[in-house]
Amino acid sequence: MRLILLGPPGAGKGTQATVLSETLKIPHISTGDIFRANIKGGTPLGLLAKSYIDSGKLVPDDVTIDIVANRLSDEDCASGFIMDGFPRTIPQAQMFDEMLGKLDRKVEAVINIIADDSIIIKRLSGRRMCSCGKTYHIANNPPKVEGKCDVCNSSLYIRDDDKEETIKERLKIYHEQTSPLVDYYQKKGLILNFDGTKPIEVTTREILDSLNNK
């Protein structure tokens, strides 16, 4: 399946994408994770992306589209993908449609996870990350051992852009530049809406049921 996960920062896109990727056996492609891996590796892309990410702004469209095109050419994407955090602007969505069109492929569903700004601010300030990609929350989704990843036992860390001021800027950018994508995909009949404030496993079940019934 070729899926897009849409929703504001902290709605639970990464959390759901991890489970869906395992269940549906398709790769989870997070542009945020690709940028963070490049920042960690000190690459030119990482240096460029860092200034935007740390201030809560979007990385320019041309840069983002190039990294997605590169990733999509990998063999594991032949059977499908879950895009998490891409597209994030109308030009990105249009370029993505073109890119897939050239490969004679289409997006099959857009999973839109809905959550209010006030919930998001609370959630992101309690988020803890692992470098393996697993995400936790100190209250809602804690690791078995405090500060350690359940999967790889690495130490968990707080993302640089999870400071309250940066979260507010990310939400502002979401409402201005990303939320118009709901209408864009609605017009194509691809949107499936989910309440991101339900327990994680409930939302996962609802998404899988809805994909099965498509």
**Smallest gap, in angstroms, from Cβ of residue 86 to ligand AP5?**
4
> x-or-dash pattern for ligand AP5, window 104-133, by CB under 6 A?
-------------------xx--x------
Residue 14 binding ligand AP5, by CB under 6 A: yes
Residues 36, 50, 88, 123: which is the catalytic one?
Answer: 88
Residue 21 binding ligand AP5, by CB under 6 A: no
Residue 140 binding ligand AP5, by CB under 6 A: yes
C-beta separation of 30 from 138 below 8 A:
no
Residue 28 binding ligand AP5, by CB under 6 A: no
3-class DSSP assignment, residue 3: strand
Q: Known catalytic residue: 123?
A: no
In angstroms, the CA 177 to CA 172 distance is 9
Comparison of 105 and 198: residue with beta carbon closer to ligand AP5: 198
Residue 190 neighbours by CB under 8 Å, 6+ apart: 4, 107, 108, 109, 110
- Which tokens hold the place of 161? 């852009």
Q: Known catalytic residue: 205?
A: no
Residue 128 neighbours by CB under 8 Å, 6+ apart: 135, 136, 137, 138, 143, 147, 156, 157, 158
Residue, CB closest to ligand AP5 = 32
C-beta separation of 133 from 18 below 8 A:
yes
**Binding region for ligand AP5 (CB under 6 A):** 7, 9-15, 30-32, 35, 52-53, 56-59, 64, 85-86, 88, 92, 123-124, 127, 135-137, 140-141, 161, 170, 196, 198-200, 203
Residues known to be catalytic: 13, 88, 127, 159, 170
